[in-house]
Chain A
Amino acid sequence: MIYAFYIFAFIAVAAAAGILFARRLFHAALLLLVCFLAVAGIYAVSYAEWVAVTQILVYAGGVVVIIIFGIMLTTRAPGRPTAISNSKWFSGLLLGLAVMGFLITLFLRETVGAPTVPLMDERFTLVNRFGIALMTDYLLPFEVAGLLLLITLVGAAVIAATRNKNTSS
């Protein structure tokens, strides 16, 4: 179990770093898919089965497909892959490494002596409790999320499908 966590963590960080150095946008999207699946594995070994399944369904199945559609619809020349041009390497790396170092030192200093993650029963399943809680205690956020999804669907369709008057596309 503990080795699975480190393997999934390594895959996730390696895929994320691959996005940073990817030359083509499509490769970056596929590396993002690998990263999402590895994070879903981390949820699965952390006793969050429902979150893992939702991650695979929504992120790996929905968001990545939407992003790939967006990449295909914004290619300049058909048949030629979209290359990503980078800019501001120095400031980007400086900002990212500064945030990384600051947060890691803060977390490692603050959580020394904090209670570690307790060992839970292997056969302890959360999905049953999760479904009951979603329909009782968390009913209002659940319904609001459904309403938000509907509004997003209509809004995205309206934004993307409206044609301009003077452009002929």
Chain B
Amino acid sequence: MIPIENYLVLSVLLFSIGLMVVVIKRNAIAVLLGLELMLNAANINLVAFNLAHPQRLDGQMFAVFVIIVAACEAAVGLAIILRAYRLFNTAVPDNISTLKEP
């Protein structure tokens, strides 16, 4: 059967690629993509640790609730990005540096 190290290494790879996307990309929507990747990496860990204790369901249940919260986060994040785009006419967070309306 698949050793648990393989799940951990896969999750670390996805997590660090998501972190690089968050740091490197300048567009706010691309930063959201990186955040979703990092949440997915955490979910892989939860499912893998649940496999080691098949009589319990805590890990998979936790993963499902993480997916629900991630969907909420994406919806609210995109609403904020759309609002900022309408105000500042850009979706690049580095160009938005004023607190008041321009």
| A interface residue numbers (CB < 8 A to B) | 2, 5-6, 9, 12-13, 16-17, 19-20, 25, 28-29, 32, 35-36, 39, 42-43, 45-48, 50-51, 54-55, 58-59, 62-63, 66-67, 69-71, 73-74, 82, 84-89, 91-93, 95-97, 99-100, 103-104, 107-108, 111, 114-120, 124, 126, 129-130, 133-134, 138, 141, 145, 148-149, 152-153, 155-157, 159-160, 162, 164, 166-167, 169
Contacts and interface: CB of A to CB of B under 8 A. Distances in A.
Given A35-B37, A84-B25, A99 B1 contact: no
- Chain A binding surface, main DSSP class: helix
Q: Closest 3 A-B residue pairs measured CB to CB?
A: A96-B20, A92-B23, A92-B24
Contacts, number: 234
Contacts of A46: 2, 7, 47-48, 51
B96 interface: no
Contacts of B1: 2, 116-119
Given A74-B81, A96-B17, A167-B87, A58 B71 contact: yes
21 contacts: A5-B6, A13-B17, A28-B30, A46-B7, A46-B51, A47-B51, A48-B63, A59-B40, A73-B85, A88-B23, A92-B20, A95-B19, A96-B23, A97-B16, A108-B5, A111-B8, A118-B51, A148-B69, A156-B79, A160-B82, A164-B87
B95 to A, nearest CB: 11
Nearest to B12: A103
Nearest to A134: B61
A104 B12 contact: yes
B5 A160 contact: no
A9 B47 CA distance: 14
A10 B4 CA distance: 16
A89 B24 contact: yes
B78 A126 contact: no
A84 to B, nearest CB: 5
B8 to A, nearest CB: 4
Interface string B61-102: 101110111111011101111110111000110100000010
